[in-house]
Structure formats: structure tokens, C-alpha cells
Structure 1
Amino acid sequence: MTLYLSELNQNSFSKELIHDILFKNISDDGKPCDCIFVPSSRTGTKYRTPAAVEQYFLGRSPKILFSGGDNGEFFESVPMKEMALESGVPEKDIIMETNSTNTKENVIESLLVLDKYLGLKNIQRIMICTAFYHMRRCHLTLQKYAPSWIEYSFYPVLDKTTRPDNWWNYENGRNRVCKEIKGLIHYAKIGDILDFKIE
């Protein structure tokens, strides 16, 4: 039976359903991209930034966009940029978005910045570089708001406790995936992301 996210309730989920929603069919296709999109987090320099920098130096994309605004303590994209610069990425190849405070804003504000610096009409493929469990939300949000011709490559970043092969073994992993699932259902119901078909 085929279901959509918007048709689910927010009660209990099987391990298999969680896997299908968050992790199924998310893998790197190895294709070159016009930009690496890195939505921030408080710990963005720990996993996401090194992964994006690695892909940049492998020649996957000529530009990295760090997206993240003020979390009340610091602008989340700033230390990510600083780390990239320290790693040898030229400043001319780094694009900054500093207004967003959540994934929807990451996407909308980043599209405005990309249009300013690169022109959306010139972008054919974006690499999404974020935590594995956060990838689905980023992709569905981009599909909702970005031009329809843009395609996406996934570079899911593996942390220690919210991986597709171990999240159920850790309390914070279980909490993260459950919160993410509930958020996806809510956003699908109110139309903030593209509704996702679960097969």
C-alpha cells in the first residue's frame, strides 16, 4: 500500500517505516554539481563542513554555500566558513547565507543568495550536504520551493549516533529520528515541504 507523509499520524512507527521515510534511496550518485548546499547546525563544523570541503576538493562542485543565521549565540554559518577557509577553500568559492533559523528558511534564503551570486537559471544540480537523518527534509523543502528544473545529489553525512545502521541503539538517536519524523508529517500536512510518497 502506498502512503504519503501527510496521511500518517504522529504516534508510533516501526523501525522499517522510519528507515523508509528517512534513509531509503538516499545515497551519493557521484555527479558534478553547481553548488554544495550546507544547511547549518550548532555542530556544523564537526561533520557537515569537513564533508563539504572534502567534496569541494574532489572537484564535485566549484562553490560551497553555507546557510545559517543567528541562533542566539552566534551565526551558525560563520564558523563553517572559517573552517573551510582554514582548510584551504578560497573565499571566492564560498557563498554565505546568514538570515535563516530553520530548514525552510535555509532553503528560501539560500535560493535568493544563489540567484544573486550565480543566477538560478544557471543552476542545474545542487549537492545537499547535511546529516543523514536531515537529508529528506532538506530535499523535500528544496523540491517545494526551488525551480523545478534543478536536480539534486545527496551527500549524507554520518554522525555517531543517528546513522541508518545504528540510530536505535542510542537514546539521542531514537529521539532525533522520532522528532524528525513528526516534523516531516507536520510540514507535509501544512504544505511546507513536498509531500513524500512512502512505498
Structure 2
Amino acid sequence: MSYQVRSLRADEWPRAKALRLEALRDPVASIAFMETYGSAAAQPDAFWQERAERSAEGASGAQQIIAEGPDGEWVGTVTVLMEEAGTTDWAGMPVERLQGHLVGVYVQPGHRGIGLTEVLFDAGLEWAWAQGAERVRLLVHEDNARALRAYRKAGFTETGVTTTLGPDKGERELELALERSESDF
């Protein structure tokens, strides 16, 4: 099976909306995502259009990467948010250096376990490094063992930082730091 992995285009917001709503119906959605299906489904089209514009190809603050199956169906996604040093992130955590933050990771159940998450991550990481990120991080719920295994397999390591986001949202931070050769110093 061949997959095409690429950045979202702004005019594809209806497909991005559909994939997000599908992700929010996943059995682990309550610990994997910060929004519910009901709240997302209630958003007007303008919300989804703006969201797509902010993370589409050519945007500098975020990038949504999608995976298309051989039949053109969207089967996975990840979004990279760029976070500036000296600010706080959306969860109130301090940002110490320019970094990417992977959010909204989702692969359809029938396409899991074949390395598609890593391919999506590779595309997201490539974009983040091109933006000057010094590291890329993500948060994973402590009870989301499947996601934690996938992130470790992709090379992410735990930083020791934990946070609580809402009721029962114990999250661990994992990171992948930019590897630098001695000639970079």
C-alpha cells in the first residue's frame, strides 16, 4: 500500500474537519484529545476554515500534515504548532526555546501498526526543523499506552515533565531534540 504524506491545503478544510471529527470518536479520544466530539461538531464552518488556514501549506506558525491512502481517503494526521522561546504554550507551560509541538495525532485503526505514524512524524519534524525548532515535543496521557509506545518507537524520550490538563488529564512530556554535529558549534 502506498501513502501520500503532505501538508494540508486551506481549501481542504471540509476533509480536515471530517478527519478530526472521526478522531474524536476514537475509543481513546477522551484521553488523547483536549476537545470532545460534541464541542467540535458544534463549531461553525468559519471555525474549521480558519483552523485550516492557520495550519495549511505555507503557514509559518503551524502545519497540519495528512496521510492519504491509495484510494485518496485521508487516513491519518498530525499538526505541528511552533512555540516561541519566552512565551507560555496553550497549556500554560513555559517555553524555553523555539520548539515544535505535535498535537492532534490520529491514524485510522485499519492503518495503525504499519509505520504511518512515524512517516507523519517525519514530515512534521522536517517542517519544524526548517522553521528553526531546537526540539519537538508532545504530551501524552499517562494511560494512553498505545500512543506512548508509538512515540517512543519514533524516537521521543520522556523529559520528566508532567502536567495535569483538566480532570483526569495527567500528561507526560516527550521530546526529540535537534541533533547537531560538532561543526554546528
**What TM-score results when the alignment is normalised by the length of structure 1?**
0.30
- Greater strand proportion: 2
**What TM-score results when the alignment is normalised by the length of structure 2?**
0.32
